[in-house]
Structure 1
């Protein structure tokens, strides 16, 4: 595939992602582990195998993004070396791999380690080691706790905030709902579940008529779906990861259960979830979004989407353009590059963390219109906004206002 000069220039501009934040003045060079005049070494673990392997594309895209950055000169003249290891979505394996990244590979920082269980297992360790633990690919609320864990900062809209948005929508639009809940039996599932229950409050708690959980090692969630269906619920809040999300959508439809089906953002990808489940079986699903959907025709000629598609065509051809995880990963890599740019020539772990905690009004064009990212030393919640969306059979269609987590 040949690239025009203009398209290449567009990609280079996208890799910069300065978004109005000025580059620090040249200062005396300072280096921590994993940094030098020529290299910035980052580490991550990803579930390239195991029950959450659909997320493996996130790590592959991020490696491709950094290759693009490196092809265009790197960050402040330094090439990014992302060491991405498979943890199989297993917390013990994640601990083993992260110890290798920190103690043997001596990475400057960890980037986008995926999964609430895996990150929970390394949380204490990386903070004790004072290793930046950045832009975690999980929405657990506890990643925004600078007082107790100053070296950890997440990326996603928090699960509790997401759950609260669903609850408040139901209280407003369907106050007599009979709610059934399916959740993954770990910190991730329980965190979003807490958001739903907190959002419903004491009066809304009676709306919940049935709950069921599953383990990531379970082969299917078919029996749980049948149990929830038998409760007489007319509303189904589905807190699952992609493999189980697809199963839940398919089983609910095939069993003749037709509730209002709300599915959490991490299980809402058209490419990796809805297509395998059956697009016809996914019509009417609700979710929350905070970045543009690559399947939505309203963004067909959007400059940022064209830039992303051009990147996919050149650097990640094996990736699925319909899989929203690939757009999510692109955003995360852009933020990481922004943090490194803000570091200038002070590439110590302390300064990397300082810059991650000082992101100001960062407007990335693949976020929903009007959204920006902010962090501070006392506020580690980068994403604080989202919009509800309904699946039409071909795409997610946003509706209503952009909601903040305080709404």
Structure 2
């Protein structure tokens, strides 16, 4: 080899060696290191929506299980889940602590439309990923104005429209009563429902009633709605009030076609307390596998879930659909972190969350794929109508497009 060729080879080798560290360089923001990924969350472990607290327990247990098997890309998950009592002011206080004191890399699955509304602007001003919110409010899918916020649940307005479309197709002359929570969560569902009914909305909805999360019961509202003569009922409630409403509807002898929003469709935390016999005929929607449905008995993902619950959370009810929901969120969060590799900046976390390509979450219904893009932050596009038969939810019809 000539001296000139040798110099060229050595120069090329030098460039390659110089580039190697850059290619392998790890990038971190607060909350990430060679050994740790710090994730934050608020969850209502107390207060009027405490039935949802089981979600955070499942997510914590899943991350613990991952840590025991080496973590994600060699890093352990440090999951900090705080109780906000379903109180927006408390959620603000807790999230500020997570971001400013604990310095989490991002937050995940903070629950409730009111609580997330209270921290929405703050998270975007701080440029901290506000991921997979446990609420289906339509405003979470707004990458242009709020590029750091992404929901998880299917859109409430779209779900409301689908119930309306089903009523128009099956009971075009229905007299409808509506009960809804008097906040952004309830109003989002109601708007979608009214939009779905279109020009017939004012004529078909003969009575509506609201409740506050601080109310002890919704018994009086149910009596008022029954007296309207409605033969169809859209029940827009969180678990405690959903169980009360289902029970009261049966106790007063009202027999409407009863639609229940999917966020309160858990057999374990809603239908059992209400009474399974009183829940027969309820119509709702699903996108996550129902652990009480025997058709999943031989499904590997469900078997893995049941084994996981038995080992890590033996005191929780494995038939509670909130638990499979929590596992689905944790599974998608883990997928985003795997996609991040060694680039654990907040910007890359958000980029990867907006680059989920037809991912089949093990706990999601087959064919209900998570898919996001920089222009569309809504992970789920389809849902399945289901009817409760006294033991489990039974699917009917074809999956319906959520968008």
TM-score range, shorter chain: over 0.9
Q: Match for residue 8 of structure 1?
A: none
Q: Match for residue 78 of structure 1?
A: 75
1:322 aligns with 2:314: no
Q: Match for residue 166 of structure 2?
A: 169
Which stretches of structure 1, 4 residues or more, deviate above 3 A after TM superposition?
Answer: none
1:243 aligns with 2:240: yes
- Shift of residue 291, structure 1, vs aligned partner: 1.4
Determine if contact 2:360/2:366 at 8 Å carries over to the other structure. no
- Shift of residue 204, structure 1, vs aligned partner: 3.8
Q: Match for residue 112 of structure 2?
A: 115
Q: Show the 5 A alignment for 1:151-300.
A: 151-300=148-297
Provide the secondary structure at the position in 2 that maps to 1:256: coil
Larger radius of gyration: 2
Q: Distance in 1 between matches of 2:269 and 2:166?
A: 26
* Candidates 374, 379, 397, aligned match of 1:377: 374
Q: Distance in 1 between matches of 2:151 and 2:173?
A: 35
- Shift of residue 26, structure 1, vs aligned partner: 7.2
Q: Distance in 2 between matches of 1:26 and 1:118?
A: 41
Determine if contact 1:343/1:352 at 8 Å carries over to the other structure. yes
Highest relative contact order (Cα 8 Å, sep 6+), 1 or 2? 1
Q: Deviations over 1:198-252 (max 9, x none)?
A: 1110134311000000000000000100000000000000000000000000001
Structure 1: where are the runs of 5+ without partners? 1-24
Q: Distance in 2 between matches of 1:311 and 1:331?
A: 13
Q: Show the 5 A alignment for 1:331-370.
A: 331-370=328-367
Q: Show the 5 A alignment for 1:31-70.
A: 31-70=28-67
**TM-score, normalisation: structure 1:** 0.93
Structure 2: where are the runs of 5+ without partners? 1-21
User: What is the total number of aligned residue pairs between the two structures?
Assistant: 382
**TM-score, normalisation: structure 2:** 0.94
Q: Distance in 2 between matches of 1:205 and 1:69?
A: 51
Q: Match for residue 22 of structure 1?
A: none
Alignment RMSD (CA, Å): 1.0
1:390–1:26 CA distance, 2 compared to 1 (3 A): farther
- Shift of residue 267, structure 1, vs aligned partner: 1.0
1:139 aligns with 2:141: no
